[in-house]
Chains A and B, each alone.
Chain A
Amino acid sequence: MELSICQLLFYILAALAILCAFAVVSFRNPVSSAMGMALCFALTAAILFGMGAQFLGIVQLIVYAGAILVLFLFVVMMLDIKDEERKTNGRCNAIAGAIVAGMLAGIIASIAIGLPGATDNPCPAKALCNSFGDLAIGQPATPATDSATPASTCSTCPAAVTPGAPLPGPETYGGPLPKIDPVASDNDTKLIGATLFSQYNIQFVILAFALLSGTVGAVALARKIRKD
């Protein structure tokens, strides 16, 4: 299986991002950790670009690598924190963390590899619907006539036929992602905005209120309390 430049970039970026995430955990100086976090977020944004989610990639760069990082650095500078000194039980703690994280990563990887339709279907939910066709996932009980054609009862992905998608080889797991439509990719921001301001308008307003109350709460928490 030959690697295209796109795939090669994904694997390189993913490896670098994981390396930076590891640096965040292992550096003892909080400023170094913050820099590692910035790199990790920038690489994650690059991976989002590669997935065709340009708007989310830009948001990731601006909000995470920009605003949140500056906030962290500001607080680190303000509090004048020294490096963590090593304690006697540090090694034991690190081993416990490594074991828990390794188990979690192993569970997630095994679930991802064992996705239904791993070898023959680009859409996992479609395969689920096929294997439980008579249950009609996500829909009220339908007459028995529908169960004869289980593929049509799937509401999650009604038309799973993706013309541009190449056939997955036997060594690929979970099915390759379908090729993105260039028109949809160009209008990514437009389509997200259309969805956000029509279907999710109320949730967006609630999010705005959450941000406002968060800001007010942060100011109220961080202000100096006068003792008089």
Chain B
Amino acid sequence: MAPAEDTALDDSRRHLEIHNRVAEAFLTLAGDEVYGAVLDIVREVFESPLGIFGYIDEDGALVCPSLTRDVWQECAMAGKDYRFPPESWGQSLWGRAIRERRPLFTNEPCRVPAGHLPIRRVLCVPIVDQGESIGIVNVANRDRDYDDRDAAELWTICSHIAPVLNARLQRDRHEKHRRRAEAELLRARDELEQRVIERTAELSEANARLRQEIAERGRVEHALRAANRLLERLFSTTAVAIAYLDSRGCFIRVNRAFAEIAGLSPDYFPGRQYDEILGHDEIAAALAEAAATGRPAEAFGRPLEVRSAAGGDPVHCDWSIQPVLGAGGGVEGLVLTMRDVSRRLRAEALARRHQEELAHVSRLGVMGEMVSAIAHEVNQPLCAIVAFAQACRRLLGDRPDCPPEAREALEQIAGQARRAGDIVHHLREFSRRREPRRAAVSINDIVRSAVGFMAPVLHPRGLGVRLELAENLPPVSADQIQIEQVLVNLLRNAVEAMSDLPPEQRVPVVRTLLPQEGIVEVEVRDCGSGLSADGLERVFEPFFSTKPDGMGIGLPLSRSIVEAHGGRLWVVPNCDRGVSFHFTLPVHDADRPGD
């Protein structure tokens, strides 16, 4: 074999071996280790102590993982880096080699930055794949110069590396993208999880709120039900008769009290017209009117014709109609309330009759007492006239010189005066108080009734009466109206005697007691201005009064009444202020005639 052929064969064999070693490195080494391994092979092939094997990354920067090997330790540059962006390349030989996509070498020392290892000679070969520089391999500082053969050989090696590196770069890029995507995915997942956690928290919070709302709603419903029950109970048990009707006067619902007025069951009403059940009365007319106008109506103490009621006393009612207005202002329904006031009216009528009777008896009593007092007063001068006339007739009449006409006149004076006396006497008989209509009555009831009749006088002035009523008193034998009149007289006097006191002190006291067997005593005490010694003595005299407008009849009349009952009425001064009037009444005795 020729030496050239041998050399070529050797070269071929060498190239094959280098390719195998490089291919093996690419196949067996993962990550950046491959760059160091390949660079070691290349430095060994080209007997260079220094070298660089780098690739162009996506941003066009040169990345040299192989730098980290031995060069890196010896490099003293500040801010060491193994990633060089294109703008940092400058006019460096390797930068030109990359840009120009062809091998360049120099055997002159290169200008390098401070701290950089000195470069005596260098060979720079770009790795070009499909017309683009995708990396570079540099070898430097061989003991002998680099030449074109070296450049061509390294170019060949690099052109072998190019597709593998490209594939690797592609793969790395994909890997990187995949990792980034995975990271992205992971982050997205984390975010999602976070959001799920947040949403879950929000949901559970909403859930708790909902549960709370449900509980709240339950409570409200419970309260509503209770309120409803209360309303229902109120509606069904109130004494006020309530009916709800639609605007055509048709019953929707009525309560028990309403149904009772008509004497029917509440179930009978719904769906029926008012006048169908209760007749065409003024309420029916007022319902129609209220439905038409939307205005309420009411009336008091009206007689009610109840068609279906079962006889009995006439029913009187206070009634009122309240229209229920809808949102549009139209009448939606009518609330009719009625109150049966028959019993109240009857009680009022009774009380009025009682009061009228009391007033009548009072007037009669006062008149009788006045006539009696006038009779007594007039009687005295009449008595004197008669006596004078008769004395005259005695003194003159027997004398012979007395004219018969004079004697006759004196007889007439006496006769006419006696006639006047008879007239007074008859007048008195005529107006004499009726005999008390006695019955067994409770003195405490009489006192309460009398105080009740004083109410119209006392209450407007803010006055009251204190009652100290003994319990278990036996009934007295009395004419209730007359004794009430005595009490009213005494109470009125007591209040008037205290007129200069402030209202809260102007409280008369009525006391009842049983001072001894068979007698009940009533005391009416005031703390007024009291009576003088003369007043105490004369207070029961007719026409004697300490009041500026007093007639002086009340007390004499009261005394007459009490005495006609077989009791006594007297007055004693209190030890502190005012006076006390006392009167007694006999206890009722079923065996006594008249009792």
Q: Do A and B make up one complex?
A: no
Residues of A within 8 A of B (CB): none
